[in-house]
Amino acid sequence: MRAKKIVVVGLVQGVGFRPFIDRLARRLKVAGYVRNVGGSEVEIWVEGEEGVLEEFVKRLVSERPPPAFIEELRVEDVEPEGYSGFTIKPSGYDFKARSNIPPDLAMCHDCLLEVLNPEDRRYGYPFNSCAWCGPRFSMIYRVPYDRENTSMRKYQLCGECTLEYRDPENLRRYHAQGISCPRDGPRLLLLDRNGSVVDEKSPIETAAKLVEEGGIVAVKGVGGFHLAALATSDDVVAVLRARKRRPRKPFAVMGIDTVVLRRLVYITEEDEELLNSPQAPILLLPKREDTPVSPLVSPGLSHEGVFVAYTPLHYLLLRATRDKFLIMTSGNLSGEPMCKNEECAFRELKNVADYFLVHDREIVHRVDDSVVRKTNGRYVLLRRSRGYAPLWTRLPQKLRHNVVAFGGDLNNTIAVGFEDKVVVSPYVGDLDEVETVSELREYLDFLIASYRISREDMVVVSDKHPGYVSTALAREYSRETGARLVSVQHHLSHVLSVVGDHRLNGRVAGLAIDGLGWGDDGTIWGGEVIVVDAESGAYQRVASIRPVPLTGDMDTLRPLRVFAGLMTLRGYSEEELARVLRRIGVGEKESGELLLVRRLVEKGLYRPASSTGRLIDVVSAVLGVCRERSYDGEPAIRLEAEAFRGEYADPPEVTLYEENGVFRLDTWSYVEWVLDKIDEPRPVIARTFLESLGENLGRLLIRSTRGLGVGSEVVVSGGAAVNEFIVRGLERVVREEGLKLLLPSRVPPNDEGVSFGQVVYCLVSEDCG
């Protein structure tokens, strides 16, 4: 007879872990107990034969409930105490320990089977859930995650549900906080735009019929409203675009399952697993040539964003349609956060949606759908929300202070750091919208309260950009709390987000390829090689791409302005510039504006910006792929789509020079090379430009960090670090040199990851005290 004490750390509470252990123990006939301890740990005691105990540990890991994940498993041999039988012990409640706030989990397979089984009492029930699945964060008012702390508290469990809840044998419903059934759970209603009830008997079927007929239905889901519309009709998509004022930004398509989605996109086994995971993110996958989806859904793109029905409600709705897939895009006006209640939906979407499919459960926190793509064979998060946030990320060591990081202004997230943990908020949005700023504050207050972050020992971190709203908010917050304020350079944060994610040590060479961030020298950065000491936070920017001239925010919306400025610095006269513009097909009217930009640059009224994003925009615009940006990253995204159809041909020579101790990649030669090749096939130029840029960035990184004692793991981050071809070229060059390239894996490489990097800065730097 032997005994083992097992401590499991991770997301193991509120996901049916204890009944699972209980059943496993009974099956293997081991004695002992299981109980929750602290905020995120489960403690197990087992006694039995050595072989059986080993089997127990093995199956504990391999057969765990689907949403559970194990960060740490500690197994210790102990003296047997002679337990007879196995019990679930009451929680060893430790009020000091903080727990992981569980994210929203996609409908599990068992719940779906119940919904589809006419014999089951939950047949056709749109809110079915269990310990393995269903909403969590989106309905939690406060921690701990108990029913009375969620918006399920107003639904009194019926007798049958109560029995399930109390039955330790019931794997999926024992102590499952969010369960309900048709008798006691939330109700669905279908309303018209005036708020009058259209259908309460079979709202889903009626809604599906209305969508079939070309209507747009706002659907209140788990973390907010979606707009559902036919994906196969050009007319419907055009109407949706016009009403939403969203000319080209892609819409996501939700399918009933991966079988249906296979008609739309190419799905590998690995992709399928991710699509069907409890996170069920939107995954960008290559479109099939014969896809039935309207080209207006993602105009000019090679990939479609698809996801599966992740709640019974969505499943039942899709099932009632002919296509079995629909556009399911966030219910908001362009730029504003997605609506999470009826008041907002009827205010903002009254001219967008024809009908509203709503329920009476309150959405406490807005949670957007997460978005994942694949870059050079690896998954990268583009948006980290549903299913992922606000789970914490563990750091290699403890923070010396509590940290509140305000991130950047666009694609903002905030982060809270304490002990050895960082909690990054779900996606917040762009901070020029007032609504978004209020959301930021809501998330902030929630995280501060949930984790009982004291002001006494707090550091507030902001970006260095003097004009950022987030910088102002951080300044105000530090004044309000009396906490020390620290600012971190934008691209250092990007690099540190990877350093923290992969727990790197020593001196690290990092590449930040990005849109715009405030540089330490008063210019704008965005294509930088930074060497950072992962022990002290001391850093040095050793190289960058050659800056382009930026005259204002308008340059980002109309990239040919940057082109005009660049050619001006290149010495082009007004006539020469006008000629080039004619040659690339720019009309008379637009040329007028561009010649004005020429004057601005001539007079020095610009800021140099070593921005990779703007450089890519210029190439995209010169090639005529995208000259007006209607959504974040559009010129670059469409250039990449173009490149997917081309081959890598002869790249131009790009030189490297030194300027005041900083290495520069003379990226301007790309622009002249593109002008030279303007009559050749666009996909080839696009592909060659991007991949060669990646290679040259790799060479720049290697050359500029030579002799600086950096490790063999180099990191890349920033908005452009998701570009397939840049990363391919970069990785090739880096690997030839015997180095390993790392991307962020737990936070997005774009500015959503900045807040995480800011906390990592405080992990190492003396600045934070």
Partner 1 sequence: MYSRKVELLHGAGGLETFEVVSKLIVARVPDALRRAMNGRGVDVMDDGSYVKVGDSYLVFTSDSYTVNPIFFPGGDIGHLAASGVLNDLVVMGATPVAFMDNIVVEEGLDLDVLDRVVESMLRVLRENNVALIGGDFKVMPRGSVDKIVVSGFGIGVSSYEPIIDYPKVGDKVIVTGPIAEHGSTILAAQLGLLEENKGLKSDSRPLVKTVLPVIQKYRPYISAARDPTRGGLAGVLNEWVYGREVSIVVDRSEVPVRDEVRGFLEAMGVDPLNVASEGVAVLSVDASVADEVVRELARAGERDARIVGEVVEMPELKGRVVARTEVGGLVLVSSNPLNLPRIC
Q: How many CB atoms lie within 10 A of CB 486?
A: 20
Question: Of the listed 18, 246, 561, 664, which one is catalytic?
Answer: 18
Instruction: Check binding of 752 to Fe ion (CB under 5 A).
Output: no
**Alpha carbon distance 540, 555 (integer Å):** 29
Min CB(751)–Fe ion separation in Å = 4
- Cα atoms in the Cβ-side hemisphere of radius 13 Å centred on 95: 0
Min CB(524)–Fe ion separation in Å = 11
Cβ proximity to partner 1, 116 vs 239, nearer residue: 239
Residues 6 or more apart in contact with residue 645 via CB below 8 angstroms: 302, 683
User: Backbone phi, then psi, for 738, in 5-degree steps?
Assistant: 80, 20
Site string for Zn ion, 529-568 (x = CB under 5 A): ----------------------------------------
Question: Quick check: bond before 337 cis, omega within 30?
Answer: no
Please list every residue from 488 through 517 that binds Fe ion, using CB under 5 A.
Answer: 514
Interacting residue with partner 1 among 35, 561, 687, 699 (CB under 8 A): 561
Site string for Fe ion, 93-132 (x = CB under 5 A): ----------------------------------------
Instruction: Check binding of 716 to partner 1 (CB under 8 A).
Output: no
Interacting residue with partner 1 among 157, 389, 524, 714 (CB under 8 A): 524
The token pair at 188 is 């669905």
Instruction: Check binding of 454 to partner 1 (CB under 8 A).
Output: no
Question: Of the listed 35, 36, 384, 402, which one is catalytic?
Answer: 36
Instruction: Check binding of 426 to partner 1 (CB under 8 A).
Output: no
Residues 6 or more apart in contact with residue 65 via CB below 8 angstroms: 15, 16, 17, 20, 131, 132, 171
Q: Does residue 327 contact residue 405 with C-beta atoms inside 8 Å?
A: no
Q: With left for phi above 0 and alpha for psi between -120 and 50, is residue 90 left, alpha or beta?
A: beta
Min CB(718)–Fe ion separation in Å = 5
Cβ proximity to partner 1, 108 vs 428, nearer residue: 428
The token pair at 619 is 């190439």
Q: Interacting stretch for partner 1, rule CB under 8 A, among 25-33, 380-388, 399-407, 458-466?
A: 458-466
Site string for Fe ion, 3-42 (x = CB under 5 A): ----------------------------------------
Closest CA to 517 of 440, 463, 437, 565: 463
Cβ proximity to partner 1, 295 vs 466, nearer residue: 466
Q: Interacting stretch for partner 1, rule CB under 8 A, among 15-23, 437-445, 673-681, 703-711?
A: 437-445
Task: Quickly list DSSP for 296-347.
Answer: GGSTT-SEEEEEE--SHHHHHHHHTSSSSEEEEEE-S-TTSPPP-SHHHHHH
- Cα atoms in the Cβ-side hemisphere of radius 13 Å centred on 400: 9
**Alpha carbon distance 720, 184 (integer Å):** 49
Closest CA to 641 of 285, 250, 301, 249: 301
Instruction: Check binding of 640 to partner 1 (CB under 8 A).
Output: no
**Alpha carbon distance 545, 668 (integer Å):** 9
Instruction: Check binding of 494 to partner 1 (CB under 8 A).
Output: no
Question: Quick check: bond before 144 cis, omega within 30?
Answer: yes
Q: Interacting stretch for partner 1, rule CB under 8 A, among 181-189, 292-300, 403-411, 537-545?
A: 403-411
Instruction: Check binding of 569 to partner 1 (CB under 8 A).
Output: no
Instruction: Check binding of 158 to Zn ion (CB under 5 A).
Output: yes
Give the DSSP H/E element, type plus range, for residue 761: helix 754-764
**Alpha carbon distance 367, 380 (integer Å):** 19
Cβ proximity to partner 1, 322 vs 589, nearer residue: 589
**Alpha carbon distance 714, 524 (integer Å):** 23
Cβ proximity to Zn ion, 127 vs 468, nearer residue: 127
Task: Quickly list DSSP for 190-253.
Answer: EEETTS-EEESSSHHHHHHHHHHTT--EEEE-SSSEEEEE-SS-HHHHHHHHHHHT-SSPPPPE
Q: Which does 516 bind (CB under 5 to 8 A by kind): Zn ion, Fe ion, partner 1, none?
A: partner 1
Instruction: Check binding of 553 to partner 1 (CB under 8 A).
Output: yes
Please list every residue from 90 through 129 that binds partner 1, using CB under 8 A.
Answer: none
What one-character DSSP code corresponds to residue 292? -
Q: Which does 184 bind (CB under 5 to 8 A by kind): partner 1, Fe ion, Zn ion, none?
A: Zn ion
Interacting residue with partner 1 among 520, 535, 574, 659 (CB under 8 A): 520
Q: Does residue 600 contact residue 584 with C-beta atoms inside 8 Å?
A: no
Please list every residue from 325 through 344 that binds partner 1, using CB under 8 A.
Answer: 333, 335-336
- Catalytic annotation on 332? no
Instruction: Check binding of 168 to partner 1 (CB under 8 A).
Output: no
Q: Does residue 140 contact residue 101 with C-beta atoms inside 8 Å?
A: yes
Interacting residue with Zn ion among 11, 60, 130, 424 (CB under 5 A): 130
What one-character DSSP code corresponds to residue 457? G
Cβ proximity to partner 1, 133 vs 431, nearer residue: 431
Instruction: Check binding of 408 to partner 1 (CB under 8 A).
Output: yes
Q: How many CB atoms lie within 10 A of CB 163?
A: 12
User: Backbone phi, then psi, for 304, in 5-degree steps?
Assistant: -115, 140
Interacting residue with partner 1 among 235, 270, 432, 680 (CB under 8 A): 432
Instruction: Check binding of 528 to Fe ion (CB under 5 A).
Output: no
Interacting residue with Zn ion among 105, 106, 111, 171 (CB under 5 A): 111
Cβ proximity to partner 1, 424 vs 594, nearer residue: 594
- Cα atoms in the Cβ-side hemisphere of radius 13 Å centred on 343: 2
Instruction: Check binding of 554 to partner 1 (CB under 8 A).
Output: yes
Q: Which does 767 bind (CB under 5 to 8 A by kind): Fe ion, Zn ion, partner 1, none?
A: none
Instruction: Check binding of 150 to partner 1 (CB under 8 A).
Output: no
What one-character DSSP code corresponds to residue 528? E
What one-character DSSP code corresponds to residue 352? T
Q: Does residue 528 contact residue 491 with C-beta atoms inside 8 Å?
A: yes
**Alpha carbon distance 462, 488 (integer Å):** 6
Please list every residue from 160 through 189 that binds Zn ion, using CB under 5 A.
Answer: 161, 181, 183-184
Closest CA to 493 of 408, 417, 398: 408
Q: How many CB atoms lie within 10 A of CB 182?
A: 15
Q: Interacting stretch for Zn ion, rule CB under 5 A, among 68-76, 96-104, 124-132, 490-498?
A: 124-132
User: 557: helix, coil or strand?
Assistant: helix
Site string for partner 1, 197-216 (x = CB under 8 A): --------------------
- Reported residue count of the chain is 769
Instruction: Check binding of 656 to Zn ion (CB under 5 A).
Output: no
Cβ proximity to Zn ion, 158 vs 662, nearer residue: 158
Q: Which does 724 bind (CB under 5 to 8 A by kind): Zn ion, Fe ion, partner 1, none?
A: none
- Catalytic annotation on 351? no
Residue for token pair 């080839």: 684
Min CB(432)–partner 1 separation in Å = 5
Cβ proximity to partner 1, 335 vs 652, nearer residue: 335
Write out the residues near partner 1 by the rule CB under 8 A.
Answer: 245, 333, 335-336, 408-411, 431-435, 437-438, 441, 464-469, 472, 476, 487, 514-517, 520, 522, 524, 550-557, 561, 592-593, 596, 599-600, 602-603, 605, 607, 609, 613, 719, 751
Residues forming the active site: 18, 36
Write out the residues near Fe ion by the rule CB under 5 A.
Answer: 514, 751
Write out the residues near Zn ion by the rule CB under 5 A.
Answer: 108, 111, 130, 132-133, 158, 161, 181, 183-184
